[in-house]
Amino acid sequence: ATDGHVLAAYQIPGNFITTAGIIPRTLVENALKITGKNEELRLKVTTGKNAPINTAAGLKDVPSYTLAGLSASGIDGRFPDWRRILPRHAPSGMGGHFDPQYIGRVSAAVKLLGRKSGIFTLAQDGQNNAALCSVGSDANFLAVIMPLRSEFDTLPTVPAWAMEHCTPEVENEAA
């Protein structure tokens, strides 16, 4: 799922029939209201001649979806190629600027995976590149957070005033 700022994906191992389509957000939200957020939901996808919709160009086959007893037609359109925003280089550790709400969205997704803390690892390759997020050794989960543009372009450092009156042991630990 993505909102243009944060993307989270989870690969469910197994052999599944794949279909291209966009599931309406309202269908998922309404199903969660009925069943509760921690319930497992089964999605039924109907394709082909059983799911035609009227478009300006005439009838078109668009998948329909059933979730928790609710049904909706898929959104007419093609989901963007989300894989093209994935970082192509190994993270360098260079810092960037992120909206804390975006980080909170990834933490919420991690909790949906059953992790109590919502803690994840975030790594980036420079301030203008997306950050890659992972959860431990779970290779099935990934998230990407887009950075914000900022007037600040320096990496954070501990200011000298904070180190004043610091004992040598603390000074060495800070280095």
Instruction: Express each pLDDT in 74-96 by its tens digit.
Output: 776 666 777 888 888 778 877 78
Q: What percent of the chain has pLDDT over 70?
A: 77
Q: Report whether pLDDT(55) > 50.
A: no
Question: pLDDT category, 100, cuts 50, 70, 90?
Answer: very high
- pLDDT, residue 52, reads 45
Token pair, residue 148, equals 């914000």
How are beta strands 141-145 and 6-10 bridged, if at all?
antiparallel
Handedness of CA 65, 70, 76, 78 (dihedral sign): negative
- The pLDDT value given to residue 94: 78
Question: What type of residue sits at position 2?
Answer: T
- Mean model confidence pLDDT for the chain: 78
CA-to-CA distance for 52 and 121, rounded, in angstroms?
43
Residue 59 pLDDT: 45
For residue 30, what are its two tokens?
Answer: 């309404």
Q: Report pLDDT for 162.
A: 87
Contacting residues for 34 by C-beta, under 8 A, at least 6 apart: 68, 69, 70
Structure tokens given for 90 = 């190994």
Instruction: Please give the distance of CA 100 from its chain centroid, rounded to a whole number.
Output: 14
Q: How confident is the model at residue 136 (pLDDT cuts 50, 70, 90)?
A: confident
Are the C-beta atoms of residues 21 and 62 closer than 8 Å to each other? yes
Please determine, for residue 119, whether its predicted confidence score (pLDDT) is greater than 70.
Answer: yes
- For residue 29, what pLDDT band results from cuts at 50, 70 and 90? confident
- From 46-50, 51-55, 68-72, 94-98, the region with the lowest mean pLDDT: 51-55
